[in-house]
Amino acid sequence: MPVGVVRTPEDEIAWERAKERAREQYPDARGEQFYRIVMAIYKKMTHYTPAPRRRKKISW
């Protein structure tokens, strides 16, 4: 489970559901391909949007 994306208990449940769904739909997927499929399903299930990136202050 990716730590940067899955942070709450609800996210963990959604991640497990996404893995189950991926196994059902893509039984032959392995390794990185499986991870990418799970991540895509997870993002759709949770309506994931990345946190805004913080800009570094440049001190002159």
| pTM, full prediction | 0.76
DSSP code, position 51 = P
pLDDT digits (tens, 9 = 90+) for 19-30: 999 999 999 999
Distance of CA 56 to the CA centre of its chain: 26
pLDDT at 49: 77
The encoded tokens of residue 10 equal 């609800």
